[in-house]
Chain A
C-alpha cells in the first residue's frame, strides 16, 4: 500500500514538473494553458489520490473532496483564461518600440492608428505597398492583421525553405510578420496579429479593439458582377468597420478626387483629407455632382430654374471645400459635374488620372441601402482606383 501510494505521489509530482517545464519553455499563452493543464489536472489529482495510502480516513475524505472540486474548477479556470486570451488575442510585441518613441524624423501631425489587413493575396500586396508609400505621422501605430477563414498555422516555422522552384504557400503568420518588417521605419510602431474567421468581421472587431482611425485593405478587383456572387471582403469590411476604410488598388497616391456632398459624412471626408498628414503632398480635385434626384430645390419650381439653383449650390459647396483645403495647406481645385453621382465620380477620376477617390459614407443600413444603393459601394465596384470611405467619428 505504501509502495503504491509513494508511486502515485511521485508520478503526480513528475507530471507537475513536466507541466511547469512546458510552461517555462513555451512563449504563447495558449501553449502554456496546455502545459498548465498537466499541473492543475493530473498532477494535483494524483498527489491527492495518494491520500488513500495515508491510512487515515479523515485525510482521505478531505482529499477526495478536494479532488472533486479540482476536477470541476481546473477546467473552468483554464477555460476562463483561454477565453480572455482569445478575446484579446495574442499579438506579436512591437519591434523597435523604444526607437520609435525617441525618433523625431517622422512626418508631423496627429499620430494615427492604422490597421493593415493582409490575406496573402496580390491585392493585399498592393495595400502593403500603398501603406508603405504614405507618410505616416510620427508616433503612428500600424498593426498588420492577417485575417482569413482558411487554415491558419500561427506557430509555423518561419525558417522553412521553399521546396525547389514550386511556390510553397507560406503560413499567413510568416507573411504577416514579413509584411510588418517591410513597413518598419523611424517614428512608426508596427505590430502584427493573426486571426481566423470571417475576414470582414475579424478586421472590424480588431479595428474596434485597436481603436483604429483607418483600415487599409486590398481588393481582388472582381468588378460589379463577379463581386456580387463572390462577395467582396473590402465591401463587407466597409460595412462592418467602425472607422474609415481605404481600399487599395494602386501602390501609391499622387492625385485624389474628393467627393463633396455637403452632408455630415461628406464633411468628415473633407476633414480627413485636410488633416491627415498622408495627403500632404497629394494633388486634390474636389468634385461636387449635381444630381436630379429628390431633395434638390422645390418640386413646384420651374425645372430649368431648379437645375440652375442646384448647380450654383453645388459650385459654392465645391469652392468652399477647396478653400478649406487650401487653408489647411493642400493643393485643391473645385469642379462640378451633372448626372449620377457614382458614374460621374468614376468618370471624372479617369479624366484627371487620379489614383484615389475619397468619399464620406452615410452609414445606411439594411433596407434603406438595399433600395437606395450606396454611392460609395457603386464607386468601389465600378472604379479601378483606390477608394477611401470616411466615416464620421461617433
Chain B
C-alpha cells in the first residue's frame, strides 16, 4: 500500500502539471502546438485519475482514465489529419 500522504502530494503535483499544461496551451503559436498541448493535458488527466484511484482504493477512476485515453487518441489523430488537409494557419 502506498501511504496516503504520498498519494495526496502526488495528486497536488499532477494538478500543478495540469496548470503547466494549460500554460503550454495558451503559449502555443499554431494549431499543431495546441494539438500537442491538448494531447499532453489529457495524459496528465489520466495520471490524476490513476492517483485518485489509488487514494480511494476504487478502480472506476482508472476506467474513466481509459475512456479519456481512448477519446484523446481518436481526437488527436483526427484533428492532426484535419489540420494537415486544411493547410497551415493563415498569417494574414
Contact = CB atoms under 8 A, between A and B. Distances in A.
Interface of A: 1-2, 5-6, 9-10, 12-13, 16-17, 19-21, 23-24, 27, 29, 32-33, 36, 39-40, 43-44, 47-48, 50-51, 53-56, 58-59, 61-63, 65-66, 69-70, 73-74, 76-77, 80-81, 83-85, 87-89, 91, 93-94, 97, 101, 141, 189, 191, 209
A84 B39 CA distance: 14
B39 A47 contact: no
A93 to B, nearest CB: 7
Nearest to B67: A66
Contacts of B54: 9, 50-51, 54, 59
A16 B88 contact: no
A2 B87 contact: no
A154 to B, nearest CB: 16
Interface in B64-92: 65-66, 69-70, 72-73, 76-77, 80-81, 83-84, 87-88, 91-92
Interface SS, B side: helix
Contacts of B88: 88-89, 91, 209
B86 to A, nearest CB: 9
Given A20-B40, A209-B87, 6 more contacts: A13-B14, A16-B43, A39-B44, A47-B51, A88-B32, A88-B83
B40 A29 contact: no
Nearest to A13: B13
Nearest to A191: B91
Q: Please name the 8 residue pairs, one residue from A and one from B, whose CB atoms are nearest each other, closest first.
A: A80-B80, A73-B73, A58-B59, A62-B62, A5-B2, A77-B76, A6-B6, A84-B80
Given A16-B47, A39-B43, A44-B47, A141 B92 contact: yes
Interface residues of B, number: 52
Contact of B91 (A10, A27, A33, A97): A97
A40 B47 contact: no
A59 B1 contact: no
Contacts of A58: 59
A279 B65 CA distance: 63
A153 B5 CA distance: 48
A82 to B, nearest CB: 9
A54 B43 contact: no
Contacts of B44: 16, 39
B71 to A, nearest CB: 11
A66 B59 contact: no
A1 B6 CA distance: 13
Given A51-B50, A56-B57, A56-B59, A93 B69 contact: no
A375 B32 CA distance: 44
Interface in B48-64: 50-51, 53-54, 57-59, 62-63
A141 B24 CA distance: 30
14 contacts: A6-B3, A9-B7, A10-B6, A16-B44, A20-B20, A23-B40, A47-B10, A47-B50, A51-B54, A59-B53, A66-B50, A66-B69, A81-B36, A88-B83
Contact of A53 (B1, B17, B70): B1
Nearest to B19: A20
Contacts of B76: 77, 80-81
Contact of B84 (A32, A77, A88): A88
Contacts of A50: 2, 50, 54
B20 to A, nearest CB: 5
Nearest to B55: A54
Given A66-B50, A77-B39, A16 B17 contact: yes
A63 B47 CA distance: 10
A16 B62 CA distance: 18
A59 B53 CA distance: 7
Nearest to B74: A73
Contacts of A51: 50, 53-54, 62
A54 B1 contact: yes
A43 B24 contact: no
Contacts of A29: 30, 32-33, 36
